Amino acid sequence: MPAPAFIERCQHSLSGGPSRLMTRGLLGVQIFAVLALGGCAGARYQRPDLPIPPNYRGDTPEPVPGNKTTESFGELQWQDLSHDETLSKLIQEAIADSFDAQTAASRVLQADAQLTIARSALFPLVNAQTGYSDSRLLQLNTSETTLSVSAGWEFDLWGQIRNASAAARANLLATEQARRVVLQTLLSNVATGYFLLQDLDLELEITRQALQFRQDSLDLVRVRVENGYSSELDLRQAEVLVETARTALTSIELQIEQTENQLDILLGRNPGPVVRSRPLLEQELASQLPSGLPSALLDRRPDIRQAEDQLIASHALVAVARSAYFPNIALTSSSGFESSALHNLFSGLSGIWQLGPAVNLPIFNAGSIRAGVQSAQAQQDQALLLYRKTVQEAFREVADSLVAEQKLAQSRTQQQSLVDTLQQAVELADLRYQGGFDSYLDYLDSERQLLDAQVLLVQLRRQELTNVVSLYQALGGGWR
């Protein structure tokens, strides 16, 4: 058919001439504009720009200029963190049996099911219905039997279902990262509790030695008092010192049992003793690896990734809220049989079917859609602020652990020198007291200072080990 004849035939078929064609053209432009606006409802997510420092505060500089290595202490497997086999077994037991770990895993399964529910809206929905009714109107008794299958499919023109699925997927990823945070915290708590037990074991041993030493001194003072070389006051001071050591011993034993009970809860056990192998002063943790680049922390720390996944979910929910401005189009159909007699249900005359689209266009809603969009945007702003705060908190935790690593090492070295000096001072005070040059009070003061210094030395070593675990956790390790 020639082109002019085809155009003329189209104009006559519109039964309105050029004006009707122009109206339909404008309608097409309007539909295209609505489609364009619907496409804008789901803008692609982009990671926010954050002020990332080039290096961690307190970190040692690169040994070679320009050598930007991405290797990090946080990438170390937790099995390689400690050489204590007992601690490794406790961590494995906690990961397998801890109530917190099992609860976190259950939340992941729940989020996965929610994702399946959200995705199911993308596919047609098919249902089967059957029914029987019996009614009586005056002297007329009627019955009806139906059997039908219906199907419905909502067209996702504006991306509402796709964005809802994207939000559910981001929530699933955030829940998985939350599970990793639980595992990371669990590892840190188990190691910290184990080191605390070893600390208390050493304090208990030091206190027992001090008690025995003070008991021997008390016996010596009694002999000196009986022979007139010492006063009754020296005897009472020696007795006070013995009772003080006994009280400290009981307090440490109480702390040990309570710490064991707390550790048992982390392991999923009933309260009971916890086996320890390597002493605290023989513990060595792998800490030779560098800290790595701060920019890599965004992808390595599970709490940061969790916060970003929550931000992605809130971004998708904004698009879901905006899609409520646009029409909702669905296609429904049904087919089956309907008959007043059951034996005629599947006859050719009893067949029924229907097919038709349904359009739902929002016209007036008293601002509920706009309020829904504003609510979703406010939640997105909150998620963004939480993400920024989580990143900054991560940098602070790494910086705190790095400076603590340096200062604790210096403090332990200084404390070791103090202990050595006080040991010599106690020996000298003992000799001077027995020789009658100093009072027993001077000797007691030197012995008390030595005991406090020994306990503090043990605590500093425990803090060093705990800080290595904290640095490992701050750098994103501990969940793999």
For residue range 42-101, what is the model confidence (pLDDT) as tens digits? 578 899 988 888 888 877 655 444 445 557 888 888 888 888 899 999 999 999 999 999
Reduced to 3 states (helix: H, G, I; strand: E, B; else coil), residue 130 is: strand
Domain enclosing residue 206, as ranges: 94-132+141-403
Please, are residues 309 and 174 in contact by the beta-carbon 8 Å criterion?
A: yes
Q: Which of 241, 273, 333, 239 is nearest to 90 (CA)?
A: 273
CB 368 within 8 A of CB 340: no
Phi, psi of 435 (to 5 degrees): -85, -5
Measuring CA to CA, which residue among 463, 468, 390 is closest to residue 74?
468
Averaged pLDDT, 161-178: 93
The pLDDT of 179-205, averaged and rounded, is: 94
Q: What percent of the chain has pLDDT over 70?
A: 82
Q: How confident is the model at residue 32 (pLDDT cuts 50, 70, 90)?
A: very low
Residue listed under structure tokens 């497997």: 77
Give 412-447 pLDDT, tens digit per residue: 999 999 999 999 988 888 888 777 777 777 777 788
**CA gap 163, 173 in Å, rounded:** 15
> Could you tell me if residue 409 is inside a domain?
no
Give 171-190 pLDDT, tens digit per residue: 999 999 999 999 999 999 99
Q: Is 157 helix (H, G, I), strand (E, B) or coil?
A: coil
**Who contacts 395 (Cβ-Cβ below 8 Å, separation ≥6)?**
53, 56, 57, 294, 297
Q: In whole angstroms, give the CA distance from residue 1 to residue 257.
A: 98
| CATH code of the domain containing 163 | 1.20.1600.10
CA-wise closest residue to 425 among 442, 413, 439, 440 = 442
Q: Which residues pair with 129 in a beta bridge?
A: 148
Whether 432 is covered by a domain: the verdict is no
As a whole number of angstroms, the distance between CA 39 and CA 168 comes to 20
What number of CA atoms fall less than 13 Å from residue 183's CA on the CB side? 22
**Phi, psi (degrees; rounded to nearest 5) at 62:** -65, 135
| Domain presence at residue 285 | yes
> pLDDT tens-digit profile of 73-83?
888 888 888 88
Q: Which residue has the higher pLDDT, 41 or 135?
A: 135
Of the listed ranges 19-28, 41-50, 241-250, the least confidently predicted one is 19-28
DSSP designation for 136: E
Task: Specify if 84 maps to a domain.
Answer: no
Give the model's confidence band at 24: pLDDT under 50 very low, under 70 low, under 90 confident, else very high: very low
3 state SS of 291: coil
Regarding predicted confidence, which is higher, 434 or 40? Answer: 434
Using only C-alpha atoms, the chain has a radius of gyration, in whole angstroms, of: 39
Whether residue 32 lies inside any domain: the answer is: no
What is the Cα 267 distance to its own chain's centre? 19
In order, the DSSP letters of 312-359 are HHHHHHHHHHHGGGS-EEEEEEEEEEEESSGGGTTSGGGEEEEEEEEE
Query: Does the pLDDT value for residue 107 go beyond 90?
Result: yes
Specify if 453 maps to a domain: no
> How many domains are there within the chain?
1
- Residue 61's pLDDT is what? 55
Q: Residue 82's beta-bridge partner residues?
A: 285
pLDDT above 90: residue 235: no
Is the per-residue pLDDT at 382 higher than 90? yes
Assign 129 to helix, strand or coil. Answer: strand
Task: Give pLDDT tens digits for 258-313.
Answer: 999 999 999 999 999 999 988 888 888 876 678 888 888 999 999 999 999 999 99
Distance CA 213, CA 429 (A): 14
**Mean of the per-residue pLDDT values for the chain?**
82
Q: Is residue 465 part of a domain?
A: no
* Residue 427: inside a domain: no
